[in-house]
Amino acid sequence: MTVTEILFGRLGWDALPFWHMLQNPTFKSVINDLIASGAGLMVVLGALVVVAGVSWLGKWGYLWREWLTSPDHKRIGIMFIVIALVMLARAIVEAVFMRAQQAVGLNGGFLTAEHFGQLFTTHGTIMVFFMGMPFLTGVINYVMPLQIGARDLSFPVLNLVSLGLTAAGAALVMVSLVLEPFSTGGWTGYAPFTELSYNPGAGVDYWIWAVSLSTFSSTLSGINFAVTIYKKRAPGMTLFRMPLFTWTALCTAILMIFGMPPLTVATGLLALDRYLDFHMFTTDLGGNMMNYVNLFWAFGHPEVYILILPAFGVFSEVFATFSGKRLYGYTVLVMATICIAVLSFTVWLHHFFTMGQSANVNAAFGIATMLIGIPTGVKVYDWMLTMYRGRVRMSVPMIYAVGFILLFVLGGMSGVILATPSVDYQVHNSLFLVAHFHNMLIPGVLFGMLAAVNYWFPKAFGFRLEERWGRRAAWLWILGFMLAFFPLYVLGMMGMPRRSVSFTNPAYLPWTVIAGIGALVALAALACLLLQLWVSVRDRDHNRVFAGDPWDGRSLEWATSAPPPEYNFPVIPEIYGRDAFMLEKDGGTPFQAPTQYQDIVMPANSAMGVIIGAAGFAAAFALTWYMWWLVVLSAVVMIGAAIARGFVRTTHYVISADEVRRTHEYWLREVEATTPIRRSQEQSGANRGRAVPPVEGAVQ
């Protein structure tokens, strides 16, 4: 072994994205490597721009103190969402490349099969683990403690560790653009294709470790959320007074606690096969690939509901707020959420109806799958009845919400079709399936999270998002989604397999072209979203809502300033019913000064998240490329940091009652000076974050 081999393992020049093109310049290899190198260049440039920007502004100290080491759940939530948005941008660009390839894919196209395989693998992996999961984790992180009247999560430092692990996984996927290749095994990484004998390169290893980092992060987040909701609710906030978003957060947290470990086992055993010559899922010596499939989907199906439930929660808040009504059928919605959470563990087999079970087993799982449609249907009716006879304001979150209802029901229908095993035999592994799950996840998760951003952004940053670009983005997402995925239903019925780099049937062509146009529309929607953010930041002084209640909100988070102080509430509120803040407004007693202020104890900053995240990234990168010394070093750092943390005794600091009083009284004076507005003025500059109280005839 040479020194280079010891230091760099199997990492060599051939990992650079343009290496192949230089060695073997053909037309196709040049095209593919130029695309790959461009992507790698974007990563390098992006990182350089961030580093240079922060240095130029001299903000490293600020970034370290106020963000990277801050245990504040609000800051951590925002950082999770930033990761999600960055990864969303990358995965959408990948989607555009895939659609472009299939639009010209009759007998060829411009991408190699290998490149296409990497694209659909990273696209899926990112959208599930590094877009959806961080997005919903971020939103729950931000909103849930405010909704239950808590000052922070139960374990703030653990929260930082969760963030660090997710960031490490996302960084690993990004680095795989510069030092190639990534896996071609799809986001599910089915063995035995992902075993060493068929996939000897670094790609699958990148996938295993990126996903593992994300899994650990989500397990810890789930524990943190569940304990917080069980133990940190304000006095009087009984379970059945919790806002529906918090209920969905609780169910998602429970699913994370029980649903993530099977994935840890699946990827862990796959790693043992690849690294230590085990035979868990290999084709020889007694390995059994069906174990992988079962383990993976024992995670994979609960995962679907981990993703969708928080979005249901967001929509429940949005429908109630923008209809000016209390949520219809609250108890039933809670029951339906719990039903979905429980049923989600009973249907995993429908992901592989065609893989050798008996017809009776298939039938049982098919029926269980269809049962999930019942609580989901109940929810849809509850949302519609919330709007019924409400004064509906078609704000940006509402556009997403209404688009969601219409499209999600369609997707649900195709889900019931797929749940029938005999039909599934016909359309499985075709684009029909791809159309179905995108039909659930885009209107569900993505619209839900974008609605959440539009809804809670003013709370987090103190100014409203610009509406015009927001509307454009929302409509383009809806249109882009329909153009991109409805043709895939047709293509699936025509028999086009999913994940095809090219095809020979000319009848597919018009549909793949329409889908390609749809992808471009979705790209335009992303551009509108970014423009919306840009314009909003530019015009922020015009849209300030410091008083904190821009939408005439109902739940507790709107009873604080925007942005809320670090400790959320100067005194922990007493809760007397559902829609706590609306009750106060109804009673004419919002914005009260407490009789007495007390010192507030808050968690102190900690570098644990950064240390564990950095060491986790190093360990994963080193494992991927066989740099064993770095693996050992990172493990020592992680264990050492955990032990050292046990010796830290100053884990909290105190904010004096006096400071709390000053901050609160300043805010109360500002609220007093803010002119309350009616809902008709909601989208104008007159909206400074205070609503006309109901007692003054606020029928808007």
Q: Which stretches of the chain bind another protein, using CB under 8 A?
A: 154-155, 219, 222-224, 226-227, 230-232, 257-258, 260-262, 264-265, 268-269, 272-273, 276-280, 282, 284-288, 291, 295, 298, 639, 643, 646-647, 649
The answer to whether residue 500 is catalytic is no
The catalytic position among 28, 279, 498, 499 is 498
Q: At what angle do helices 133-147 and 156-178 cross, to 10 degrees?
A: 160
The answer to whether residue 221 is catalytic is no
Between 286 and 356, whose beta carbon lies closer to another protein? 286
The distance of closest approach from Cβ of residue 659 to another protein in the complex, given in angstroms and rounded to an integer, is: 21
The catalytic position among 73, 99, 187, 584 is 187
Within 13 Å of residue 621, how many CA atoms lie on the same side as its CB?
24
The span from the CA of 84 to the CA of 599, in Å, is 36
The catalytic position among 75, 123, 464, 544 is 123
Between 223 and 435, whose beta carbon lies closer to another protein? 223
The span from the CA of 409 to the CA of 415, in Å, is 10
What is the helix (H) or strand (E) element at residue 22, kind and residue range? helix 19-23
Contact of 583 with 576, CB cutoff 8 Å: yes
Q: DSSP assignment of 330-377, as one string? A: HHHHHHHHHHHHHHGGG-GGGGGTTSS--HHHHHHHHHHHHHHHHHHH
Contact of 497 with 430, CB cutoff 8 Å: yes
Contact of 350 with 419, CB cutoff 8 Å: yes
Give which of 207, 76, 48 is closest to 610, Cα–Cα.
Answer: 76
The answer to whether residue 498 is catalytic is yes
The distance of closest approach from Cβ of residue 621 to another protein in the complex, given in angstroms and rounded to an integer, is: 23
Classified as helix, coil or strand, 463 is: strand
The answer to whether residue 231 is catalytic is no
The answer to whether residue 544 is catalytic is no
The catalytic position among 142, 206, 207, 305 is 305
Between 57 and 601, whose beta carbon lies closer to another protein? 601
B/e letters for 5-43, b = 16+ CB within 10 Å, e = fewer, are eeebbebeeebbbbebbeeeeeeebeebbebbbebbebb
Q: How far is CA 557 from the centre of its chain?
A: 21
The answer to whether residue 176 is catalytic is no
The distance of closest approach from Cβ of residue 113 to another protein in the complex, given in angstroms and rounded to an integer, is: 31
The distance of closest approach from Cβ of residue 633 to another protein in the complex, given in angstroms and rounded to an integer, is: 18
Between 58 and 286, whose beta carbon lies closer to another protein? 286
The answer to whether residue 115 is catalytic is no
The span from the CA of 337 to the CA of 252, in Å, is 9
The answer to whether residue 218 is catalytic is yes
Total Cβ atoms within 10 A of residue 252? 31
The catalytic position among 321, 376, 420, 536 is 376
The catalytic position among 350, 679, 688, 690 is 350
The distance of closest approach from Cβ of residue 190 to another protein in the complex, given in angstroms and rounded to an integer, is: 16
Give which of 99, 316, 133, 281 is closest to 204, Cα–Cα.
Answer: 281
The distance of closest approach from Cβ of residue 257 to another protein in the complex, given in angstroms and rounded to an integer, is: 5
Give which of 204, 139, 130, 202 is closest to 167, Cα–Cα.
Answer: 130
The span from the CA of 133 to the CA of 127, in Å, is 8
Report cis status (omega within 30 of 0) of the bond before 565.
no
Report cis status (omega within 30 of 0) of the bond before 458.
no
The span from the CA of 626 to the CA of 295, in Å, is 26
The distance of closest approach from Cβ of residue 275 to another protein in the complex, given in angstroms and rounded to an integer, is: 11
Measure CA of the first residue to CA of the last residue in the chain; give whole Å. 77
The distance of closest approach from Cβ of residue 687 to another protein in the complex, given in angstroms and rounded to an integer, is: 39
The distance of closest approach from Cβ of residue 286 to another protein in the complex, given in angstroms and rounded to an integer, is: 3
The span from the CA of 660 to the CA of 666, in Å, is 10
The distance of closest approach from Cβ of residue 279 to another protein in the complex, given in angstroms and rounded to an integer, is: 5
Between 17 and 145, whose beta carbon lies closer to another protein? 145
The answer to whether residue 376 is catalytic is yes
The catalytic position among 233, 351, 554, 585 is 351
The catalytic position among 94, 195, 303, 382 is 303
Between 413 and 642, whose beta carbon lies closer to another protein? 642
The catalytic position among 184, 217, 267, 337 is 217
The distance of closest approach from Cβ of residue 223 to another protein in the complex, given in angstroms and rounded to an integer, is: 5
Exposed/middle/buried for 409, CB within 10 Å: 0-12, 13-18, 19+?
Answer: middle
Between 29 and 288, whose beta carbon lies closer to another protein? 288
Between 299 and 469, whose beta carbon lies closer to another protein? 299
Between 122 and 224, whose beta carbon lies closer to another protein? 224
The answer to whether residue 73 is catalytic is no
* 232, 233, 236, 239: CA torsion to nearest 10: -120
The distance of closest approach from Cβ of residue 145 to another protein in the complex, given in angstroms and rounded to an integer, is: 13
Give every CB contact of residue 345 below 8 A, 6+ residues apart in sequence.
258, 259, 298, 301, 302
B/e letters for 591-610, b = 16+ CB within 10 Å, e = fewer, are beeeeebeebeebebbbbbb
Report cis status (omega within 30 of 0) of the bond before 25.
no
The answer to whether residue 664 is catalytic is no
The catalytic position among 73, 75, 90, 379 is 379
The answer to whether residue 187 is catalytic is yes
The catalytic position among 218, 321, 369, 634 is 218
Contact of 342 with 378, CB cutoff 8 Å: no
The span from the CA of 488 to the CA of 515, in Å, is 7
Between 62 and 230, whose beta carbon lies closer to another protein? 230
The span from the CA of 486 to the CA of 518, in Å, is 10
Between 79 and 266, whose beta carbon lies closer to another protein? 266
Q: Give the Å distances, CA to CA, from 526 to 96, 398, 478.
A: 12, 18, 12
The span from the CA of 331 to the CA of 438, in Å, is 29
The catalytic position among 301, 438, 688, 690 is 301
Between 75 and 232, whose beta carbon lies closer to another protein? 232
Residues annotated catalytic, as ranges: 123, 152, 187, 217-218, 301, 303, 305, 316, 350-351, 376, 379, 498
